[in-house]
Each structure stands twice: as C-alpha cells, then as structure tokens.
Amino acid sequence: MAPSTQRVGNFEKQGENGKQEEAGPASDRLGSPIPPLRVELSGDDIRETAYEILVAVCGSSPISFRNTSIKFDAKPNINKSLTSSAASQMKRALGLHSSGGSGDMQRLSSFKSKKNPTITDVLRAQMRISEQSETRIRKALSRATAGQASKRNGLIIVPLELLQNIGPSAFADEKEYVSWLRRQLRVLEAGLLVHPLVPGDEGMDARRLKQALQDMVDGHRTVEKAKSNEIMQMLRSAAMGRATRAHNGQHGDFLHWADGYPLNAHIYVALLSACFDTLEEVEVIAEMEEVLEMIKKTWDVLGIDQTLHDTLFAWVLYRQFVVSGQSAVNLLQLSERQLDQVGKDVKGNLIADQVPLLKSVLSTMQFWAERRLLAYHDSFPGGASDIMAGLLAVAVGCAQILQEHVSREFKGRGREVVNVPLSRVDVYVRSSVRTAFAQLMETVDSRRKAFKGSGSLPPALAVLAQDTMVLAISEVDNFSPVLKRWHPYAGGVAAATLHSCYSREFKQYLSNMFGMTVDTVAILKAADELEKRLVGIAVEDAAECDDGGKSLIREMPPYEADQAMGELTRRWVEDNVEKTTEWIDRNVQQEKWSPAANKENYAPSAVEVLRIVEESLDTFFEMPAEQYPELLQELASGLDKALHHYIVQTVKSCGSKDAYIPPMPPLTRCKVSKSWLGSHKSKGKSEAYRNPRKSSIVSDTESLANTCVRINTIEHINTQLQSLEKKIRNGWMKEEPIPPKSGRIFGKKTPVPPPATERTVDISLTFQKTRSAIEEGVEQLIDLAAYRAVFADLRDIFLDGLYVGDASSARIPSVLEQLEVKLGEIAETSAERLRNRIAGALMRACFDCFLLILLAGGPTRAFKEEDADVIKDDMYALKELFLADGEGLPEAEVEQIVAPAAQVLTLFEISSSELIQIYLASITQGGKKSSKTASIPPTTGKWSATDANTVLRVLCYRCDESATKFLKKTYHLKKAAP
C-alpha cells in the first residue's frame, strides 16, 4: 500500500502523519490546524482506519440506501449532529451542487454488480475502500461480536479485534498483510500510547503494550508472531488495560483508544471528507445527508461532540474551498454558517479539553483569510465579491469567537469591551489602503523613469493624486458596501488613511518648492482636489461614527497650500506673458511659411503659439486661484497683446500691394506714321516701366502660395479665438459634490457661479486688439497676394506684354493661361473659406492692370478705333475666366469688378473727334475753360467714361492724326519716343 495519496489538480494532498499540504503558490497554501501525529501514519492509513471505525459503530450489516429513519443500537447522544432534513435545507439554501459528475459515474460503475446499492456502498466508494477490504472488515467484526450481543460498539478496540480475526490468508500476498498489520499496530500505538485521551505515566500496561507492539513489528517473522496466541493475549491485555483507564476520575461505558487529540481529529476529518466528490472537489455528493447521519455514530468512539463537529466541519468546508481554487463560494458560505453554530456551541459550554483544537482551527482559518484581507485590493482587484464577503465573515467570526469565548487573555476583569468586528475590519482597511497606496507610488515612479526626459507625462505627485482619487472612488464604490456590514464608516477610514499617506509626500514637496512651474500648478491643483474629495467621503461617512466623525476629521489636517499659491500665481502670470512674447519674436522670424509644413496649409508657429496660449489658460485654471479673479483679466490682456504682436509681425514682414504697382509714365501723344507699328513690335517695356519701385518691396522672393499660408495662418488664429474666450469664460467650472442628502458623493460637472461680479472677465473685450489686427491683416495680405501675382509674377506677359506694338498680335490668351495657374495655386493652398476673397482680389488686380495697360501703358502701346472689338473680346475672356461657367466667383461680384473697365471701353469705340468733344465738355464743367495754357486734369485713380483724365488718356493712346494734333495744340505734349 502506498504511503501517501495525491489527488488530481489542486485537490488536497496528505502526506505521512496526516499532515496536510496543498499545491500552488505559498500565499495560497492553507496549513493544517491539526498537529501532525507522532506516529508513522499516512493520510491513506487514517482514511482506512476511519472507515473501519465507521463500520464498527454502524454494525456489520450494510445500511439501506437513503434510509433516514435508521434505529441505532447506541444510546442517544444529547449532542446531535445535523439531521438529514437540516442538511437538505442547508444545501438548498446555499445552492450547493450535488455531484453528478465523474465521481458519481465512477461510483455507479462500481455498483453495477449490486441490485440495490446501499449508503454503505456509497461511503465505501467515497473513502476508496475496495469490496474485498470491506468484506474482510465486516467478517472480522462479525466474528468479534458473535455470541456477545451485549457488547456495544464502544466496548471494542477495532484494531485489536481486526488483528485477532483477520489472518494472512485474507490478503493477496504477505507484503499486503504486513503493511495492513503494521497500520493496525501504529493506530494502537497512536491511540493508547502517543496520543491517549487519558494522560498518565509509564505504568505496567504501557510498558507491556510497548513490548507487545515491538515484538510484533520487529524481526523477519512478523506473520508468525502475529499468529502467536501468547503475543496476541499480551497485546489485548495491555491494550484493554490502557483503554479502560478512568477519564476525569470516572469509569465510563466506552473504551478510550481513539478519542485522544489529535488522533480523533485526523480520523474525523477523514470521515467528513467523504461528503465531497472524489474528483470534483467543488461539489458535495447527493448522499451528503445520509453520510453525515452515519458519521455522527462515531462521536462516542472518537470523543466528538456538537462543538467539535461544527468546528471540524467548518474547517473541512473551508479547506475544500481553498484547495478547489477558491471558486466554490457556496462552501465558503457554508463554512461561515458552521462558524455561527460554533459561536453558539461555545457560549457558556466550552470544555477546557476542546480549547487547543478550537484555537488552532479558528486561528488557522483567520490567518489565511486575513492574509488576503490585509491586502484586499490585491486579492480582489475587480472589487468586492462574494468570496471577499465570505472571507470577511470567516475572519471576523473566528476573531470574535477567539476573543469572546476561547482566548483566556481576554477574560480578565476590568478590561474594556472591544467591538471585535469593527476593530478587525478597521485594521484590514488601513493595511490594504496603505499597501495599495505604496503600490501606486511604485507604479508612478516606474512610469516616470520609463519616460524620463520625454516631457509627455504630468508630474509624478500630480499623477499620484489622481491615482489616489481613483483608488478612493474604487474603495467607496467597490469595497465599502461590503465592509459596512462590520464597519459602518469603512469608507471614511479609507479616505482618512489615503489623506495621511498623500499628506506625507505632499508636505515634503512643499518644503522644497521655490517657484511656480507647470508641474507645481498641476501638483497644487491635484492635491487640492484630492483633499476636497477625501474630506467629502469622510464627512459623508462620519454620520455613522459614535463621535459624529470628529476623530476621523482630526486624522485629516489640511494640506495648507493656499498662502504660497497667491504669490506664485501672480509671479507666474507676469513671467508667462513675457516669455510668450519673446517666443513669438524669435519664431516668427524663423518661420518659412511653406505650404508643405502641414496639410492644413498654415504655419506651425501659429499652432505652437495657440498651444502656448491655451496651455497658459489651462495652467492658470489648474491653479487653485479662484480667489484671484483680477489675475485672470491680467493674463487675458497679456495673451491678447501677445497674439496681436504675432499678427502684426506676420503681416509687417510682407510689405504692401503699393510696392508692386509701377508709377504711371508721363503722358505723350502718339507718333502717327506707317513705320510706327513695326518700330514697336519687338521692343521691350518702356523706360517708365523698366525700373519700378523695387526698393519698397520687402520680400520679393515670396510666392503666392507663401502669402496664402500667411493668410491661412491669421485666419486660423481667428477661428480659435472663440474657443479661447470660451475657455476663459468657463475656466472655473468644476465638478462639485452634490449635497449628502442626495446619497451620492461625487456629482456631475456643473458651473460654479463666481461669488462676486469682479470675478467675471469681459469676454467682448478679451481679444479685441487681436481681432482688429486680424481683420486688417487678412485684408492687407489678400491684396498683397493678388497684386504681387499680377504686377510681379505675371508682369512680363501682362503689364509688359499685352497689346505691345499691335493690339491684335499681343492679346490676352497667354495671360489667361498663367492666371489659371495662379487660381490653381489659390485653390490648393488657401483655406476654403478664403478662396473667393483671394480670387476676387486677384480679379480686381487683373482689371486694375488691364485698365493701367489701356490708359497708362507707356509709349509701346497705341490703339486705333477698330481695336475696340479686340480689347472688348479680351475683357470678356478675362471675365469668363473668373466666372468659370458658374463655378467661380458670384456673378454679381464679377460684374461689379468688370463695370469700370466696360465703361472705359465705350470710349475706345468712339471716334477721336467725338472724344475731343466729350473731353472738352468734361473740363468746362465747373467753370473751367480750355486754353493753350490749360493744365492737365489730375488723375483720380478711379477710371471712368465721365472722368476727364480718363478721356484724355484714351486720346493720348489713340493712334490718330486728329487726336495727336489736339494734344499738341492744347497741352504741347511730346510724341512718344520710338
């Protein structure tokens, strides 16, 4: 027979001497509360002995299956075990599974040879006893009691009778017999010599028994010695002498051979283990009620009473819960009920002999449960569960029984009455919260080291405050509801503990704080918010305190960061505005204004400056600075100046559109000759256009796309101002706790109105300077982009090329082709909401250039009356380019831009004589008269068919004899240079 048996998976493993072990990590192991036997008996030896005792006390005939009304010969015991009905109710109430799995199937397969299986068959299968062994046991016990009808089961020593009535022939081989024989002898040694119920010195019976046991075991002739009547008689005589000794000075009706501690406890635990499926340890067998009824018949032999039964049954249920992987919560709950029964059992009825077992079992159960409860955040990371509730009940129940009924140290007079459940749970809460906080610190520190230098994480102490708040909320939501069964203000204790833990770290930081930084703001803000929440939790729970929560509040002295906050905030505002302005000066000068910088086509520096502004506001509102509303106005004004400065610098570096418009050449009259056209066909631009005012052009290398990026950038800032103003307006909105009567600790985000009118910032004036600069800057840059594209980028083919020499040979198509390219650039690089504005400005620039060519085109241009149709066709082609078949600019806008040019073109269709008459009529209005010394009417800049200067310029560029004679006579104008 194997010295030990190991079950599959996490099921229990019993080694030699009945010592229990479990597989798995050390933290999950549950030590046995029953001391090991000082005799070499394995778990299998104890189990087989337990079954032999069970057969002896129940009689040698099998008991009918599920017969709950069996009459036993033994006299009734006033300490009754659980009845069948009680056990059934217990199973139903707790929802315990009756085994229907592999264990039952195995038992059923072993019953196939039996027509009517009995409860004895079930027990035999549960205790893994073979049919041959059972037959051998029953026959031997029948012979032992044959002819002795008066001999009760308590008046036999089972191992002695088995030794007397079972010989080697009953076994398959001599080795098996010798192993069985030595087990019986060790059981006698354990019960009568090593662990006897009745203590005593080494008397004659003890020496004789030792000698007999030694004689049977020693040597190589064990079998022959076992057959020796002389040795057997000596063994019986010595054993009976030891077993009949008086207990507590009285001789009873029973022999005391298996009721000594801890032998009786090991045997009884082996019997109770039969209630569980041998393969599916989380399940009880369907016949549990009958099994418990049979087991109770061993009480007299084993010296068990109701108290010890309830204690050991609670232990077995608890052990089974642990070794099943802590999944069978119903077994844990049943163990809790058994502990309640133990508490009732020991109240006023505790026997001194029971104290060692009670203390050992309860202490072991309490220790294992508390090892998890002292760090329940680790043990139950998902929140309180039925298992945690069960372990709390077990730990508190064990502590209460030990303190109030078992431990003598608590029974002295004059000692203060202690609320055991509250004091124990208080210890669990403080210990677990401190452990969880220490782990938070380690996590935050590890995260900080992992990302050191990246600047992507908030300061460690701020993160710690946030994580602490999450821990506090988790405590209130997930653990306090379960803990409140034993500790009404467990949430308040957790809050006070967390407050103390964080206070230690925060006070150390304050002692080393010298200036306001983003990290400082984040930490002060986080600490302030954490303190408010923790105090709120404690105050809400304080209603359940005996002292109204005063003791809890005393544990939470304020963090006291307000005094340092005021001065640091003021200094920070001043430094922040100054640094922002310095950053703008440095980065605007370095900006490339490239469309390739990002897909939105605005400058990265704008993104950065907006981020700085937003971060400045966020940082300010993260400060606990509500008591300093005037600083918000100061900060808003400073940020407005900084953004205004950015806009001004962006626009200023580009110059203005006037830098690209050339000065008008002096007026001349056309030289009419046959060779005039030929002499100007191949000539370049006139002297007047050869050196325009390039000195005033600030950035001659900047393209249309670059300028569009500047426009997009300013407009992007404009779109973000409303968001920034909203941030300023709502910056002091906070999550405020709902009053306690609502039953919740934390409320939703609701606006907190300022206590005084001076706290409110005038939003309409917040970014007034910036908005004004944006409006002017966008307009200036749009004009700049358009006039630079026309008068600089397209100058060669437009201003210097259109209608040069001969109107019909230098027409508009080449200009339109390049304009399409420019419109494509605008579409690709400008923001969608700005495209029409830029395209409209480009159209205005084109028609300004068109009119400038017609009215101030210089000596290389001259027009005949018949050129009017050509020019009109070109004008309409230019117009159609911007209409784009209805997909371009709005028609009304186009017509408005084209109108001045269309009106001027009517003059080109009129003969020179009529033009002279129109001109003379226009200059005589207002009392002016024509004379040889008459002055040339000034240029108004608004070309019109009714404008004298406009009509005069048409005459100047009219290639006609009458026109040139009129100009020579009236103004003595020179002829155009060849």
Alpha carbon distance 49, 582 (integer Å): 93
Last residue in a domain, options 531, 560, 589: 560
- Which pLDDT value is given to residue 978? 54
pLDDT at 544 over 90: no
Q: Tens digit of pLDDT for each residue in 200-248?
A: 767 787 888 888 888 777 644 566 666 678 888 889 988 998 898 888 7
Torsions phi, psi for 276 (to 5 deg): -110, 145
> Are residues 432 and 479 part of one domain?
yes
pLDDT digits (tens, 9 = 90+) for 101-114: 455 545 555 554 55
Q: Please give the pLDDT value at position 353.
A: 86
Say if residue 886 is in the same domain as residue 811: yes
Q: Strand locations in 461-504, DSSP E? A: none
Q: Which residue has the higher pLDDT, 145 or 931?
A: 145
Q: What residues does 98 pair with on adjacent strands?
A: 284
What digits encode the pLDDT tens for the residues 686-741?
A: 444 544 444 334 444 578 999 999 999 999 999 999 999 988 888 776 544 444 44
- Contact between residue 314 and residue 13 where contact means Cβ atoms under 8 Å apart: no
- Give me the pLDDT at residue 63, please: 45
Residue 401 included in any domain: no
CA distance 794 to 798: 6
Triad 34, 128, 55: Cα angle to 5°:
80
The reported pLDDT for the residue numbered 678 is: 46
The 10 Å Cβ neighbour count of residue 706 is 18
Confidence of residue 445 (pLDDT cuts 50, 70, 90): confident
pLDDT at 59: 75
Q: Does residue 323 belong to any structural domain of this protein?
A: no
Domain match, 584 and 499 both: no
Whole-number pLDDT of residue 219: 46
Indicate whether 976 pLDDT > 90: no
In contact, 320 and 276? CB cutoff 8 Å:
yes
Q: Hey, is 6 helix, strand or coil?
A: strand
Taking the C-alpha atoms of residue 365 and residue 643, their distance in angstroms, rounded to an integer, is 70
What is the DSSP secondary-structure string of 857-921?
--TT--B-GGGHHHHHHHHHHHHHHHHGGGTSS-HHHHHHHHHHHHHHHHHHTS-HHHHHHHHHH
**Average pLDDT, rounded, for the chain:** 81
CA distance 162 to 175: 17
Same domain, yes or no: 537 and 572: no
382 pLDDT band, cuts 50/70/90, is confident
Most confident of 66-75, 101-110, 876-885: 876-885
pLDDT at position 893: 95
Residue 668 to residue 386: CA distance in whole angstroms = 106
619 and 714 share one domain = yes
**Same domain for 527 and 572?**
no
Domain tally, the chain = 3
Alpha carbons within 13 angstroms on the beta-carbon side of residue 613 total: 30
Identify whether the C-beta of residue 666 lies closer than 8 Å to the C-beta of residue 793: no
Report if residue 392 sits inside a domain.
Answer: no
Place of tokens 């030590």: 31
User: Which residue from 203, 221, 136, 118 is spatially nearest to 172, judged by alpha carbons?
Assistant: 136
Q: What per-residue confidence (pLDDT) applies to 107? A: 52
pLDDT at 631 over 90: no
764-782: pLDDT as tens digits = 568 999 999 999 999 999 9
What's the confidence (pLDDT) of residue 457? 66
CB atoms within 10 A of CB 113: 7
Instruction: Examine the domain organization and report whether 511 and 598 are in the same domain.
Output: no
CA 607 to chain centre: 30
262 assigned to some structural domain: no
Q: What is the pLDDT of residues 893-926, one digit of tens each?
A: 999 999 999 999 999 999 999 999 999 998 886 4
Residue bearing the bigger pLDDT, 788 or 741? 788
Whether 877 and 910 share a structural domain:
yes
Q: pLDDT tens-digit profile of 657-667?
A: 888 999 988 89
Q: Which has the closest alpha carbon to 111: 93, 99, 123, 94?
A: 123
End-to-end CA distance of the chain: 133
Task: Please tell me the least confidently modeled range out of 328-342, 667-681, 943-957.
Answer: 667-681
Count CB atoms within 10 A of the CB of residue 901.
20
Q: Which residue has the tokens 């206070």?
A: 503
Handedness of CA 254, 256, 259, 263 (dihedral sign): negative
Find out whether 714 and 651 touch, Cβ atoms under 8 Å.
yes
Residues near 214 by Cβ (< 8 Å), separated by ≥ 6?
Answer: none
The pLDDT, as a whole number, for residue 226 is 61
Q: Is residue 851 part of a domain?
A: yes
Which tokens is 524 given?
């002060």
What is the reported pLDDT for 519? 83
In the block, tokens 């072993």 appear at 110
Which of 59-63, 65-69, 714-718 holds the top average pLDDT?
714-718
State yes or no: pLDDT of 814 exceeds 60: yes
Average pLDDT of 390-406? 91
The least confident of 132-146, 278-292, 393-407, 859-873 is 278-292
- What is d(CA 53, CA 491) in angstroms, rounded to the nearest whole number? 53
Say whether both 729 and 819 belong to one domain. Answer: no
The half-sphere exposure of 425 on its side-chain side, counting CA atoms within 13 A, is: 29
Whether 597 shows a pLDDT value over 90: the answer reads: no
Instruction: Give the rounded distance of the alpha carbon of 107 from its chain centre.
Output: 50
Q: Is the pLDDT reported for residue 629 higher than 90? A: no
Structure tokens at 485: 């069964």
Residue type, 725: E
Q: Is the pLDDT of residue 361 over 60?
A: yes
> What is the secondary structure of 268-319 as a DSSP string?
HHHHHGGGB-SS-TTSB-TTHHHHHHHHGGGHHHHT--HHHHHHHHHHHHHH
Please list the helix, strand and coil fractions of the chain in percent, rounded to the nearest 5, in that order: 65, 0, 35
Q: What is the CATH number of the domain that holds 845?
A: 1.20.58
Q: Does residue 848 share a domain with residue 943?
A: yes
Residue 757 DSSP SS3? helix
Q: Which of the pair, 201 or 961, is modelled with greater confidence? A: 961
Query: Is the pLDDT reported for residue 9 higher than 70?
Result: no
Q: How many Cβ atoms are within 10 Å of 665's Cβ, its own excluded?
A: 16
Which range marks the domain in which residue 592 is found? 564-648+701-743
Dist. CA 712–CA 700, nearest whole Å: 20
Instruction: Give the domain-ending residue among 560, 577, 592.
Output: 560
Q: Are residues 553 and 622 in the same domain?
A: no
Same structural domain for residues 579 and 470?
no
> Is 757 part of a structural domain of the chain?
no
* Tokens standing for residue 780: 């200036």
What percent of the chain has pLDDT above 70?
Answer: 79
Tell me the C-alpha distance between 468 and 463, whole Å: 8
Q: What local confidence, expressed as pLDDT, does residue 790 receive?
A: 95
Identify the pLDDT of residue 908.
94
CA distance 804 to 587: 46
Residue at 485 is within a domain: yes
- Residue 922, domain member (yes or no): yes
Tokens 């806009």 label which residue? 647
pLDDT-derived band at 468 (thresholds 50, 70, 90) equals very high
Q: Can you tell me the mean pLDDT for 644-663?
A: 89
CA–CA distance, 630 with 569 (Å, rounded to integer): 11
Under a CB-based contact definition with an 8 Å cutoff, are residues 826 and 704 in contact?
yes
